A and B are shown apart, each in its own frame.
Chain A
Amino acid sequence: MNASMGGLTNQLNNMNLGGHSQTQLITVNLIGVPPNVGDLDAPPPLINLPPNSSVTQSDKANCEPSYKRCTFNSVPSTASLLSKSRLPFGLIITPYRSLKEGDDPVPVVTDTVIARCRRCRTYINPFVTFVEGGQKWRCNLCFLSNEVPSQFDWDLQTSQQANRWNRAELNHAVVEFVAPTEYMVRPPQPPVYLFVIDVSFPAVQSGAVATAAKTILESLDRIPNEENRTKVGFITVDTSLHFYSLNSNSSEPQMLVVSDLEDVFLPQPDDLLVNLTEARSVVESLLSHLGDMFKDTHTVGNALGSALLAGFKLISSIGGKIVVLQSSLPNIGPGQLKAREDSKALGTPKESALLQSAEPFYKKFAVDCSRSQVCVDMFLLGSQYSDVATLSCCPRYTGGQTYFYPAFNAGRSEDALKFAHEFAEFLASPIALEAVMRVRASKGLRMTSFYGNFFVRQTDLLALPNVSRDHSYAIEVSIEENITTPTVCFQTALLHTTCFGERRIRVLTLSLPVTNSISELYSSADQIAISTLLANKAVERSLSSKLEDARDALTNKLIDILGVYKSAITGSQGASPQLQSCDNLKLLPLLALGLLKHVGLRASSQIPTDLRSYAMCLLTTMPSQLLIPYIHPRFYSLHNMPVDAGTYGPDGIIMPPPLNLSSEKLERHGAYLLEDGQNIFIWLGRQVVPQLCMDLLNVRSYEEVHSGKVTLLQLDNPFSQQVNAIIGKTRESRRGVYYPHLYIVKEDGGDPSLRLWFLSHIIEDRTDTVMSYQQWLGHLKDKVK
């Protein structure tokens, strides 16, 4: 009855629109129906631009969602419609995303002809119009007519007629221009990697120093160095700073010790930062000895602050990357920190203070770095409290990333493998240097708040000393004036230096239709983008006020959205036994519940602040492709998966169908795989058949299985090969450098905390404090007026 009512209202709504809407608003009931988790990978609603809105009709004319997506694919024409709909308005931008196999490379315009609007500085894009017989082009953001550069029709190099319709910037929404000298304040900088390595007793003890040195040594060929300009330097630090003179003429590095921590100086002007190609042999010699150099040390204490200041002195004239490998809490010199974790404060309103920075030094340092184009990346390998909250300030404002390896011990091969893999990928990934990013939008739209790792240098200019691969930025947009045009456009320009020394501008253009109907707005809403934006806002909120406020704000947002849907779209009044949503937003309640139960936001007195802070770092930097599995893990059953799962199909490895995250699915005799991009769990039921244990783990029965971190054996049977293929596929298909740990979890026996950790991912179930999925829907329904 309800469904048919909803259907009728839809038809009425669509009729009101005059029939030009192509996306159908489909109302679905939420209560009593398990969410279809397979739809998490579904593409966002189609962008229904009016016909002929792009000049070339190219299918690449509009931006792919993996680069830039909006929370809805048709923009409301007035601010009152936006506030009435209660949907958040924002953009999720991943300008420097990685290219996986099968992805098209970004086309490059090499002739340095960059046509831009004289008034609003928009770059020419597929949505401009040519007027006056093609002599001029009209900007699609401010509608000013501009001259078409003569090179559009005439190739200066070959002195021949050129076809402007073949130009990449008129065919592709994502395009890169090679920038002429007007876009440079100085010659393009070379990539610089300065390693600041903690060599105090805990660092040496855990094997972090040796693993890091070995990984750097093995990655020397993978560090971006096409032009042979890359510079490297090393500072090791315990209670004093050790610099290394890496003169390319000498065969052995020379260590220079500075023990004045308050007034940091460089012991010599040259040879501390050297060209990687020229000084290759001496760098190799240093790295091969670094692991043993401090093996007998008993020095406890670390002066990270002084080392950072010294590193800054060393590279600030060029800019570049400071890679910090930290295993202990910096406890002497500037920026010293205390082990401030207080287990009594966890789960109380005081917890927020522990998630905030304890020491202004790091923030101030990050701001100085941003000015000098220096980026800081933190690898935290602490076995004890590492104060991720404070140390992650440096990457946050310099465009870097924090990586955290709790209880790292290189003696465990899994730990060493994970760190070495991620660190090597990090070193090998191409980065963009000395970058600024700006988003321009059609008249009436304004960018209001920005989320992600950068420093806001002007009202709408983001400074990124380095653009890390696959970092995502969320930007909230507001409507300042009514929009009268049929389409609006968002253009992101990222001016950067590539790691091969070319100044380039990457331009992403997204054009969206404008609507004045609330049902059209709802039918075009993108639940993935909305969840990504809400995750960013929730983290922001929990840092600026309390975790509880963030959770309440998230819940209220959901109530508002569903309430508006009920009153304005289905048109029903009063209490109803159903909770309805449109088809394209049907997973939003599930994703919001995933966020509420996420380790970064969950109400719990058991989550160490380091883990929370790290989860928050990930929530604010991950692109949607990584973030969605991170808040709603993928769950597969292994014991009864289809025969072809884990084998090669036409699109690579075939994955088994994903299951709902509910313990109803956990059968006693079953084996399951759950992964969130950071960890992979294999759950074994207590009555699992011995043959499965034999095939998968090479043990005779369930009793002999050891739970915990493992490396899965590659056994010579189809089941093992299938499971390994599935795990391999999940590891490589995701963006980012992450290499998840694999844990074996047993239904009984083994480590109980591991079992609880696994079960905390089963978000459709009731946990001690938070509702189950159906209870959550019931709660939302009761609150919806």
Chain B
Amino acid sequence: MPGEALLFLFGTIMAAALLFMMVFFTIMFSDLECDYINPIDLCNKLNQFVLPEMLAHAFLGFAFFINGSWIAFAINAPLVAFNVQKISNNRHMYDATEIFRTLGQHKKECFIKLGFYLICFFYYLYRYDKLHKAII
């Protein structure tokens, strides 16, 4: 099934991209802690990426669902649900006036996501590798 292999290849690339995005977020947060950036600029910068990240992740989950890759979908579903809940409560954007109070929470979330995308990356790579070998 070259389609499924391609999907996992795509997933690997996406996971890598999301991984980089999380690294960027983490760096920005520590910049804020060291006063290299002010909270207004930080929030303006990060808020541009919040929705694209969520959309990319949701799209990936959706693609796994369509393809019937149930395990991959099950891994991603909780995060999609978490994101949807955040958007519906209007809490997904970073707020410059609250950022210092919530910084610890944001950093924790970022680290967890970072780990999650890392695991995803290797899982997709492994699946792709297996499927790829099955073809040839």
Contact = CB atoms under 8 A, between A and B. Distances in A.
A459 B35 CA distance: 7
B34 to A, nearest CB: 9
Interface in A690-733: none
A459 B34 CA distance: 8
Interface string B98-124: 011100000000000000000000000
A36 interface: no
A668 interface: no
A366 B40 CA distance: 11
A458 B97 contact: no
B35 A363 contact: no
Contact of B95 (A363, A450, A461): A363
A767 interface: no
A371 B40 CA distance: 9
Contact of B100 (A363, A366, A367, A459): A459
B95 A456 contact: no
A316 B33 CA distance: 28
B40 A367 contact: yes
B31 to A, nearest CB: 11
A457 interface: yes
A473 interface: no
B38 interface: yes
Interface in B27-57: 32-33, 35, 38-40
Name the residue in B39, B96, B101 with the highest tally of chain A Cβ atoms < 10 Å from its Cβ: B96
Contact of B35 (A397, A449, A458): A458
Nearest to B38: A457
A461 B99 CA distance: 13
B100 to A, nearest CB: 5
Interface residues of B, number: 12
A367 B101 contact: no
B40 A458 contact: no
Contacts of A397: 97
Nearest to B44: A367
A455 interface: yes
Contacts of B99: 456
B133 to A, nearest CB: 51
B35 A367 contact: no
Interface in A287-308: none
Interface in A406-456: 449-450, 455-456
A449 B103 CA distance: 12
B39 A456 contact: yes
Contacts of B35: 458-459, 461
B82 to A, nearest CB: 19
B97 A363 contact: yes
Contacts of B97: 363, 366-367, 397, 455-456
A449 B100 CA distance: 8
A363 B96 CA distance: 9
A120 to B, nearest CB: 15
A367 B97 CA distance: 7
Interface in A329-382: 363, 366-367, 371
A458 B95 contact: no
Nearest to A396: B97
A133 to B, nearest CB: 38
A131 to B, nearest CB: 32
Contacts of A449: 101
A746 B55 CA distance: 64
A685 B35 CA distance: 62
Contacts of B33: 459
A450 B39 CA distance: 15
Contacts of A456: 39, 97, 99-100
Name the residue in A363, A366, A449, A458 with the highest tally of chain B Cβ atoms < 10 Å from its Cβ: A458
Contacts of A366: 97
Contacts of A457: 38-39
B9 to A, nearest CB: 40
A196 to B, nearest CB: 22
A367 B35 CA distance: 18
A495 to B, nearest CB: 16
Contacts of B39: 456-457
A449 B101 CA distance: 7
Nearest to A540: B101
A371 B97 CA distance: 12
Given A449-B101, A459-B33, A367 B38 contact: no
Name the residue in A371, A449, A459 with the highest tally of chain B Cβ atoms < 10 Å from its Cβ: A459
B41 to A, nearest CB: 10
Contacts of A367: 40, 96-97
Contacts of B100: 450, 456, 459
B23 to A, nearest CB: 22
A382 to B, nearest CB: 25
A366 B96 CA distance: 11
B60 to A, nearest CB: 30
A128 to B, nearest CB: 26
Nearest to B37: A458
B44 to A, nearest CB: 10
Contacts of A363: 95, 97
Contacts of B95: 363
Interface string A491-504: 00000000000000
Contacts of B101: 449
Contacts of A461: 35
Nearest to A368: B40
Contacts of A459: 32-33, 35, 100
Nearest to A364: B96
A543 B130 CA distance: 52
Nearest to A366: B97
A253 B31 CA distance: 50
Contacts of A458: 35, 38
A449 B104 CA distance: 12
Interface in B67-107: 95-97, 99-101
A449 B35 CA distance: 16
A457 B99 CA distance: 10
A781 B103 CA distance: 38
B30 to A, nearest CB: 11
A458 B38 CA distance: 6
A68 B39 CA distance: 27
Contacts of A455: 96-97
A458 B40 CA distance: 10
A401 B33 CA distance: 29
A450 B40 CA distance: 18
16 contacts: A363-B95, A363-B97, A366-B97, A367-B96, A367-B97, A371-B40, A397-B97, A450-B100, A456-B97, A456-B99, A457-B38, A458-B38, A459-B33, A459-B35, A459-B100, A461-B35
Given A367-B96, A367-B97, 9 more contacts: A363-B95, A371-B40, A397-B97, A455-B96, A455-B97, A456-B39, A456-B99, A459-B33, A461-B35
Interface of A: 363, 366-367, 371, 397, 449-450, 455-459, 461
Closest 9 CB pairs of A and B: A458-B35, A456-B100, A367-B96, A397-B97, A367-B40, A457-B38, A459-B33, A363-B97, A449-B101
Interface of B: 32-33, 35, 38-40, 95-97, 99-101
